[in-house]
Structure 1
Amino acid sequence: MNANQARRLVVLGTGGTIAGRATQANDNVGYVAGQVAVSDLVAMVPALAACPLDVEQVAQINSKDMVLGVWQSLAERVAEHLDRPEVAGIVITHGTDTIEETAFLLQTVLRPSKPVVLTCAMRPATALVPDGPQNLSDAVAVALQPDARGVVVVCAGRIHGADDVAKVHPYRTDPFDSGDAGPLGCVEEAQLRMFRPWPQAVPERTHDAPGLQRLLGADALPRVELIFSHANADGEVVRALLAHNPVARRLRGIVVAGTGNGTVHDDLLAALKQAQASGVAVVVASRCGQGRVVPHSGQPLPDSAGLSPVKARLALALQLLGI
């Protein structure tokens, strides 16, 4: 055990498929997520027995049901553990459905100078051949890397950056992709092989404290809706949002997943310009699974700077919070 491995890691549990339980071992889809305690997940990986670990259950949910309150609790616990000098890194067990959004939020808000590694599973803990134990073991290997920093997602032996990772398959055990950028690296028998630099981190601190305080001070995320442009789009959804716009949940932004290079149906574009005129921020992303919106002089709406539609929605909400 080298000097870095002798340092302490923190494992935070939030539920998800990795903590799921089914009634039969051969059932990989009819399970209930968030049933197995994170302490039990750690105990299923004998290789972790020699690593000093603090284990904490922050939440126990299906990640499709992620809400601001869980994000706030998670970000607060991550920040507190990052400030502990003896902690080398943090591992978070999470559901796959919204792991890309949680990773993006934590990276945007905290920009940690230590590694914060989210991991997951596509099969429940009760599966005949669960994938969670190997993913958890790989995540620990990443968190122990001496030069690691920032928020990453580790699954199926690949290390994905928070800005690029996206879930692209609903069933296979390697469901994530990082698009044109590709993964940051891979884990091979607990050894890392890196292809790209780690995510950017805040200098000379463990995390961005002002960003965290803005998140923790929010009663709700600013209301930003996500809509799609498609054939025969008429803009009625946008006009309905503007017509029903209660003061308590005032519409602050719209992200539109445009066709191709961020193109938007003319009828929908007219409604979006109406929204802009009323003070609603509008951003366009591409609904394509790969690539990004390439800016050009004739572009009628500001683009998402390469972010996917779901991350662009979250980025705009955080921007409206001042983060």
Structure 2
Amino acid sequence: MSAAQAAAGSAGVVRVLGTGGTIAGVSHTGRDRDYQAASLSVEALVAAVPALAGVPLQCHQVCQVDSKDMGWPQWRLLLAACLEALNDPVVAGVVVTHGTDTLEETALLLQVLLPPVKPVVLTAAMRPATSAEADGPANLALAVRCAQAWAGQARGVAVAVQGRLWPALAVRKAHSWAIDAFDGGGVCPLPAEPPASPALALWPPSWGRLEQAGAQPLLHAETLPWVPCIVSHADAQATLVQALAAHVPAPQGWLLACTGHGTAHAHLLAALQQQPQPVWRASRVARGGIAPPGHEAMPAVGWLTPAQGRLLLSVALAVSGPDVQALEGWRQRLLAEPGLADLLMPD
């Protein structure tokens, strides 16, 4: 065993949880676009990374899914597996292999629900494992290194890709096919290893909502509350909102993906204002989000993407119910994140 591996071993075991995705994809034609996602096991992914030879790892296949199809059934299994790992004294940190399509949503889910006990690092790939440009091995090695380096730190969830580590509350997929597809929406990457100062406000601790207010039964729920995402655009009509509102059961909340800095077509606004369920707003623009001016009939979720904002409202409804004050507490918790809020939501 090398000196580096011995030092890594002293930090404890890293548990690697596999969920599928392009990082586990295989092409049988030799063309990168012609591949089947979620084909390889997490054990096979780890075995293909020479840098991880001798590193103390435990592998567990949580599910095998193309992340475009990720949803509550897989998230529930992943949450349970993460909780088990976080409660295991042998485990120093957790790495999750995932697809890129919904990576920002899973990262947010884990950030708000898991307790801030040990580092949880997600990683992914834009090329399948059989590609000549396969980025999965380097990303996986980075994720394990970050989990080891941050062992013992009560931080939250982060995403390690292309040599950078992004906080879960800021990460988003910013390019549809480039190998360097993720950014932080305006924040700088986190350091791969803890600096001398322990402040590090830009990697906030996870929220631990599964441990609060008796939310643990959420893991036994069959579904999350239904929150559709309504996108505002030119020539928008109220028909979709009206049709969904007439559905039985009706949505339990709404996410309005706005144009610009929180604006939306008058027809959509009028239709949503008639709905009794909570309506939250996000911007469909890649960067900038919506700076909340204060109390609003349709509150904004700051810098979150529409997909993240929709999920946050759904999880908040699942844990806290439709109580307006309780939901506002979730939103304010987000908008009060030290460092992130100051940087991403300037006055």
What is the TM-score normalised by the length of structure 1?
0.89
Quote the offset at 1:199 in angstroms. Answer: 2.3
Query: Aligned match of 1:227 in 230, 238, 241?
Result: 230
Alpha-carbon distance in structure 2 between the residues aligned to 1:28 and 1:5: 38
2:52 is aligned to 48
Q: CA deviation at 1:294?
A: 1.8
**Structure with greater proportional strand content:** 1
Q: In the TM superposition, what is the alpha-carbon distance from 1:295 to its structure 2 partner? A: 2.3
Q: Secondary structure at the match of 1:242?
A: helix
Aligned to 2:7: 2
Task: Tell me if the contact between 2:9 and 2:55 (Cα under 8 Å) persists in the aligned partners.
Answer: no
Answering whether residue 168 of structure 2 is matched by residue 165 of structure 1, we say no
Structure 2 Cα separation of the partners of residues 311 and 202 of structure 1: 15
2:107 is aligned to: 103
The corresponding residue for 1:17 is 22
Q: Residue 252 of structure 2 aligns to a residue in which SS?
A: strand
The 5-angstrom pairing of residues 150-161 of structure 1 reads 150-161=156-167
SS of residue in 1 equivalent to 2:227: strand
User: 1:209 maps to which residue?
Assistant: 211
Aligned length: 309
Deviation of 1:129 (Å):
2.7
Is the CA contact (8 Å cut-off) linking 1:113 and 1:202 kept in structure 2?
Answer: no
Instruction: Tell me the SS of whatever aligns to 1:294.
Output: coil
Deviation string 1:64-85 (CA, Å, 9 cap, x unpaired) is 0012111001100110111011
State which of 192, 199, 204 in structure 2 corresponds to 1:199.
Answer: 204
1:280-307 deviation digits (Å, cap 9, x = unpaired): 1111111110012122369552111332
Match of 1:319 among 311, 316, 319: 316
Q: Give the partner amino acid of 2:211.
A: A
Cα distance 1:230–1:202, how it changes in 2: closer, same or farther (>3 A)?
closer
Q: Is the 1:91–1:143 contact (alpha carbons within 8 Å) kept by the matching residues of 2?
A: yes
Residues 127-138 of structure 1: pairs in structure 2 closer than 5 A: 127-138=131-142
Structure 2, unmatched stretches of 5+, are 1-5, 321-347
Aligned-partner Cα distance in 2 for 1:111–1:168: 28
- Quick one: distance in 1 between partners of 2:10 and 2:223? 39
Q: Distance in 2 between matches of 1:313 and 1:18?
A: 26
**Counterpart Cα distance in 2 of 1:169 and 1:285:** 19
Q: Which amino acid aligns with 1:163?
A: L
Residues 145-154 or 42-51, more deviating: 145-154
Q: Does 2:278 match 1:274? A: no
Distance 2:111 2:161 in 1: 18
Q: Quote the residue 1:254 is aligned against.
A: 254
In structure 1, the residue matched to 2:291 is: 294
3-state SS, counterpart of residue 179 of structure 1: coil
2:73 and 2:291 mapped to 1: Cα distance?
A: 35
Residue 295 of structure 2 corresponds to residue 305 of structure 1: no
- Preserved contact between residue 112 and residue 207 of structure 2 (Cα < 8 Å): no
User: 2: distance between equivalents of 1:67 and 1:298?
Assistant: 32
Distance 2:182 2:230 in 1: 23
Distance in structure 2 (CA, Å) of the matches to 1:298 and 1:11: 42
Distance 1:304 1:234, change over 3 A: same
Aligned amino acid, residue 269 of structure 1: L
Q: Return the alpha-carbon distance in structure 1 between the equivalents of residues 138 and 254 of structure 2.
A: 39
Check conservation: 1:165, 1:176, Cα contact below 8 A.
Answer: yes
Q: Quick one: distance in 1 between partners of 2:9 and 2:111?
A: 23
CA–CA distance in structure 1, aligned partners of residues 206 and 62 of structure 2:
24
In 1: Cα distance, 2:48 partner to 2:134 partner: 11
When the two structures are superposed, what TM-score results if normalisation uses the length of structure 2? 0.83
What percentage of aligned pairs have identical amino acids?
44
- d(CA) in 1 for partners of 2:240 and 2:41? 41
CA contact (8 A) 1:76 1:212 kept: no
Structure 1 counterpart of 2:257, one-letter code: A
- Distance across 1 between alignment mates of 2:163 and 2:76: 29
Preserved contact between residue 6 and residue 52 of structure 1 (Cα < 8 Å): no
Partners in 2 of 1:142 and 1:212 — Cα distance? Answer: 29
Residue 92 (1) aligns with residue 89 (2) = no
What displacement does 1:322 show? 1.8
- CA pair 114-63 structure 1, distance change in 2 beyond 3 A: same
2:188 matches 1:182: yes
Aligned CA-pair RMSD: 2.1
With 192-201 and 283-292 compared, the bigger mean Cα shift is at 192-201
Give 3-state SS (helix, strand or coil) of 2:157's partner. strand
2:243 matches 1:240: yes
